[in-house]
Amino acid sequence: MEYSVIFSDLDKIKKILAELLKLNSNVDIKTLFNKLENNSFRKVIEIQYIYMFCKSVNILHSNKSIKIITLEENLKLILNKEVKVIVGLLNKLGYIDSLLLLLNLKKSIVDNIEQYINSTKNIKLKENTLDLSTLHFTNKKTSIPSNTTIDISDELVDRIVSKLDSNVNIQFNQSVKKEENPNIIKKIENVKLPEIETSDDSDSDNSDNSDNSDNSDNSDNSDNSKDFSIPREMKKIGNNILNEYTKEEIDETDNVKESKVRLNKNDTDLLDLLG
């Protein structure tokens, strides 16, 4: 950590923030920010200004960025701690987080931190002295030579794919034509309708010869809902299908125009089924 840069920028940021707090016009505030280069130095000023403004109008609880949340957590970590502990935390932080922390500490604490750093000439980030050769990396599949470069991305992909079910088949942009099922009946042939109970032939013959008979029989049939008989007109269709009939239409001059319409084989076959 280059603390000479940190404390130099800290003084400059304090002066700029002091000027920002004097401004009442949003236009003037925007003009001042536009004069600053868009870098980490400006970001510290922006975050700190927003933090101070939200606190002043009591709206901070719902307007916290990640940097502000981190700042508040760091402030809790060094609360009532010795300077040595505070410097230890600063050694772990980056440029933005370090400056934000120092901007929100009392001047007396900041002065003590600066004095401690100046009196200790060898303050720097502690390097990890772990010897990787002592960890004895092993590979279940094969032993990898120490001078072999391992592609971590390929290794991770292989592990993920290996956990997938072997039946999973991933295909992209492929149109598959469904095979026709030979068991599906494409055409219904030789359909036989269920037989419907009809009246006796003798009764039908008698009905043909007695069209002017009274309706007593019909009333009896209507009373008995279980009995059902096909009208004689329907019974005649079975063996006497009319495959041609006359169609009448009225033209624009109100004249009746007759035309012959002939049933096709499909129509007559369907009528046959009703016989």
From 206, 198, 211, select the one nearest 237 (Cα to Cα).
Answer: 198
pTM to 2 decimal places: 0.48
Please give the pLDDT value at position 225. Answer: 46
Please give the pLDDT value at position 179. Answer: 56
pLDDT 10s digits, 115-171: 999 888 655 656 677 777 777 766 655 555 555 566 777 777 777 777 776 555 555
Tell me 260's DSSP state.
E
Please give the pLDDT value at position 210. Answer: 47
pLDDT 10s digits, 238-251: 445 566 777 778 77
Question: Among 36-40, 80-84, 112-116, 206-210, where is mean pLDDT lowest?
Answer: 206-210
- Domains of the chain, by residue range, sit at 3-119, 201-208+215-273
pLDDT of residue 192 exceeding 60, the answer is no
Q: Are 104 and 47 in contact (CB under 8 A)?
A: no
Please give the pLDDT value at position 54. Answer: 93
**Local structure of 250: helix, strand or coil:** strand
Please give the pLDDT value at position 24. Answer: 84
Q: Are 159 and 140 in contact (CB under 8 A)?
A: no
